[in-house]
Amino acid sequence: MQSTLSALSQRVTEAIAEAFQLKPEDVNPRLTRSQDDKFGDYQCNAAMGLAKQLGQKPRDIAQKIVDQLKTDDLCEAPEIAGPGFINLKLTTEYLAGQLTQTPPNPDDAAASEQTGPVRNQTGPVRDRIGIPTVEHAETIVVDMSSPNLAKEMHVGHLRSTVIGDSIARILEFAGHNVHRVNHVGDWGTQFGMLLEFVRQTQPDALEQKGNLVINDLEKFYVQAKKRFDDDPEFADRSRKNVVQLQSHDPNTIAIWEMFCHESLRHCHAIYEILGVENLVDRGESFYGPMLGDVVEEFKTKGHATESDGALCVFLDGFTSRDGDPLPMMIQKSDGGYNYDTTDLAAIRHRIHEMHADRIIYVVGIPQKQHFQMLFAAAEKVGWSSDNNMLTHIGFGSVLGEDGRPFKTREGGSVKLKDLLDEAEARARRVVEQNVEKGGDRSHFDESTINHIARTVAIGAVKYFDLSHNLASDYKFNFDNMLAMEGNTAPYMLYAYARIRSIARKADTANTEENAATSTNAPIVLEHDSELRLARMILRFPEIIDTLLVDLRPNLLTDYLFDLSKAFNMFYDRKQGVRVIDAKPMNIRASRLRLCDITARVLKTGLNLLGINTIERM
């Protein structure tokens, strides 16, 4: 499946280059989707700009472009409108031809061997629906999730995990070489206190591997903090631990490693439930041995300035509230390093050792300035070459019903495990209701229901998160995310399962009819709802292209929602067409194939969001 927009852009570029004797690389075709179907599918706005440039009337320019335009195989005759817009409308033959060429689904062969209502399918997408990979694969680091190990992971890290994984999947789908890196906070002064608390409360922890078990990290932290505040002797020992940690005292390091291991176990339990794979833990401590060199490099290149005993990097354009220059501190006056130094070392490591072409940070908006300064510093010291290399994808906060930061009733942070468990329990009720309504329980034994409930629950939490604009805050609300109607995972998953059920029904219908229902049946488009669905399906490669430039998963959720609406219209008894009992046979085959391609786009699209589909619901 090719991107029609890019195919047409190329044609328009050629026409403009030809008409005005320009080099194609100097031409901007200014082709966009039409705002309104009645003007066609695409609109070229190049004439207005060229008119100024060439001192001619826009409509004349538009006419000259149209005279050169060779798009008969894609579009109806172009129309010039208004001051000089060129409207392009795809032909039915083009739409049908493109869909007919859709390659077969590699999963179909595998699926025919598997029986049962549920197909297992985590992992990367296999069905590309004919969408090509990019010409130049890049190495891309996605810095995501990255909780602090001193405490339990919170909802902000859930967002980073879900958004980061989706972005990683989209980049992988395009053919890039992606590294998901978990930049966990595993170093720093809080560990002195936590290690002391381990020493005192679990003195035999060191004796045997696996001895240290902390069921509630949050409580553990709170208790340790309280002891630290109340007991000066404990506080003193805690500070000594920090010193020992920094000087790599073997006993202290051993307890620290145990603690980090235990904390990471909590994180990975969540990643497992979420189906997030290939996330490599590389905590702040990993960069410890590199920090001295990083500071040295800033010094030798003349970018570090001493200020009150500390070493600072002054960056253009960053000022404090009073308008004074705001430096980035890379070494404290006591010789210690900080979050910024560590992040600088991480950039250097990722660019120089991992050979990253790009690094994408999926971290909440409150850290926006940290990343701006970090990127400016990396550029100043000469590590990052162009401003595309380092990107911060910031996101808004998760709020409670009251519009305040999401907390438990007692004001503590919400345990993600509890949250996901509750989502599952609620999803189960939704699924039970659905099955009840459907009337036929034969395909839904206990384990199937469990599988569906979990898929719906995790899908719902992820979809709800990803469907919001990245920058917006949102209110966490189970009822909204589990609603069967609207732009939600249950709606999308149900739409998918419904299409799959059409295929099953058709299969059992009449064997003579099925002979005509091959997976490469030519697509015939007659009815309005059919044409609308076809257009919507063919937008998928365009959406992928857009996503690669503008990494906003909500563009994909919006598209999938539009696609499923177009499908519902197509399948609607009144507004749409007959499918299983359509006549003649070639029309039936075409419509069944259209159903199948729709399901494939839904499945692939949901997979790029990290959401699994289910065959029955």
User: What is the smallest separation between the CB atom of 438 and ligand ARG, expressed in angstroms?
Assistant: 44
ω before 584 within 30° of 0 (cis)? yes
Which of 179, 555, 164 minimizes the C-alpha distance to 361? 164
Is residue 343 a contact residue for ligand ARG (CB under 6 A)? yes
Nearer to ligand ARG by Cβ, of 146 and 285: the residue is 146
How many residues of this chain interact with ligand ARG, rule: CB under 6 A? 10
User: What is the smallest separation between the CB atom of 172 and ligand ARG, expressed in angstroms?
Assistant: 20
Q: Which residue has the tokens 């403009």?
A: 16
**E strand or H helix at 541:** helix 540-549
Nearer to ligand ARG by Cβ, of 105 and 148: the residue is 148
Nearer to ligand ARG by Cβ, of 183 and 552: the residue is 183
Whole-number Å distance between alpha carbons of 496 and 514? 21
3-class secondary structure, 178: strand
Whole-number Å distance between alpha carbons of 440 and 89? 45
Binding ligand ARG (rule: CB under 6 A), the pick from 105, 148, 517, 613 is 148
Whole-number Å distance between alpha carbons of 108 and 110? 5
Strand partners, 79: 87
Candidates 141-149, 168-176, 275-283, 435-443; binding stretch for ligand ARG (CB under 6 A): 141-149
Whole-number Å distance between alpha carbons of 221 and 228? 10
Nearer to ligand ARG by Cβ, of 29 and 147: the residue is 147
Q: Which x/- pattern, by CB under 6 A, does the window 357-396 give for ligand ARG?
A: ----x-x---------------------------------
Residues contacting 586, CB < 8 A, separation 6+: 516, 521, 522, 524
Beta-sheet strand order (sheet of 390-393): 279-281, 177-182, 139-143, 358-362, 390-393
User: What is the smallest separation between the CB atom of 148 and ligand ARG, expressed in angstroms?
Assistant: 5
Yes or no: say if 98 and 531 are a contact pair by the CB < 8 Å rule: no
Which of 148, 260, 150, 281 minimizes the C-alpha distance to 205? 260
Binding ligand ARG (rule: CB under 6 A), the pick from 143, 152, 186, 262 is 143
User: What is the smallest separation between the CB atom of 137 and ligand ARG, expressed in angstroms?
Assistant: 24
Binding ligand ARG (rule: CB under 6 A), the pick from 9, 13, 105, 146 is 146
Is residue 615 a contact residue for ligand ARG (CB under 6 A)? no
Nearer to ligand ARG by Cβ, of 58 and 283: the residue is 283
3-class secondary structure, 590: helix
User: What is the smallest separation between the CB atom of 335 and ligand ARG, expressed in angstroms?
Assistant: 22
Interaction residues for ligand ARG, span 167-226 (CB under 6 A): 183, 185
Whole-number Å distance between alpha carbons of 9 and 4? 8
Nearer to ligand ARG by Cβ, of 234 and 361: the residue is 361
Interaction residues for ligand ARG, span 487-546 (CB under 6 A): none
Nearer to ligand ARG by Cβ, of 194 and 460: the residue is 194
Handedness of CA 334, 340, 343, 345 (dihedral sign): negative
Yes or no: say if 546 and 588 are a contact pair by the CB < 8 Å rule: no
User: What is the smallest separation between the CB atom of 340 and ligand ARG, expressed in angstroms?
Assistant: 9
Nearer to ligand ARG by Cβ, of 71 and 160: the residue is 160
| Residues near ligand ARG, by CB under 6 A | 143, 146-148, 183, 185, 343, 346, 361, 363
